[in-house]
Chains A and B, each alone.
Chain A
Amino acid sequence: DGGITQSPKYLFRKEGQNVTLSCEQNLNHDAMYWYRQDPGQGLRLIYYSQIVNDFQKGDIAEGYSVSREKKESFPLTVTSAQKNPTAFYLCASSLGLWGYEQYFGPGTRLTVT
């Protein structure tokens, strides 16, 4: 089955801890994205990657970091510098950057207390 997976589905952390969210795709897509979704709001872009070993900041990159060492994987680290980390995090991938259909993973709901 081709698709995009995220794990875990729910994640709980204490304030001050870094946490890494996993995103894997087997669609052979070049582009990958991380979005944050807060209740009742749209999708805000955190980071995106057009190709392996390259990534760019989105609109709300502060307090987050990513890596793209493999085409299939685009993990997101939420650092302790992120002031309001509790949110629903969505990973997506597409054949190319912008203007292509994006396939979303099931999301990770992160709660930081």
Chain B
Amino acid sequence: GQQVMQIPQYQHVQEGEDFTTYCNSSTTLSNIQWYKQRPGGHPVFLIQLVKSGEVKKQKRLTFQFGEAKKNSSLHITATQTTDVGTYFCAGSNNDMRFGAGTRLTVKP
């Protein structure tokens, strides 16, 4: 069945540095979603990508969907302490699979 791998598992950055997390699927996806879970909280939807090669931006966050629709990335420019949390990707085809998440910590 479909599997979604996400790396890195952890990332610790200095405030102001950039951050990127990557997702790779074993199969072609119909779409991919990204979620953020703050410490002690629940996942909150950030964005959905559907088209091959799609790039979407939300302020300092840039989301990309690969040309083959098998990989995706989330890039945060100039991290802030409010970016702390775990970022999950979730790929859909005939079902939906979450990556294991990347836990981001930011040192002020």
Contact = CB atoms under 8 A, between A and B. Distances in A.
- Main secondary structure on chain A at its contact with chain B? loop
Interface residues of A, number: 18
Kindly state the interface size class of chain B when it binds its partner: 20 to 34
B48 A42 contact: no
Q: Chain B: interface secondary structure?
A: strand
A42 B99 contact: yes
Interface in A92-107: 92, 98-99, 101-107
A102 B91 CA distance: 12
Contacts of B85: none
A107 B42 contact: yes
- The interface centre, meaning the residue of A98, A99, A104, A107 with most chain B CB atoms within 10 A of its CB, is A99
Interface string A7-43: 0000000000000000000000000000100001111
Given A90-B43, A98-B92, 11 more contacts: A40-B9, A41-B101, A43-B98, A90-B42, A98-B94, A99-B31, A101-B33, A102-B33, A103-B45, A104-B42, A106-B41
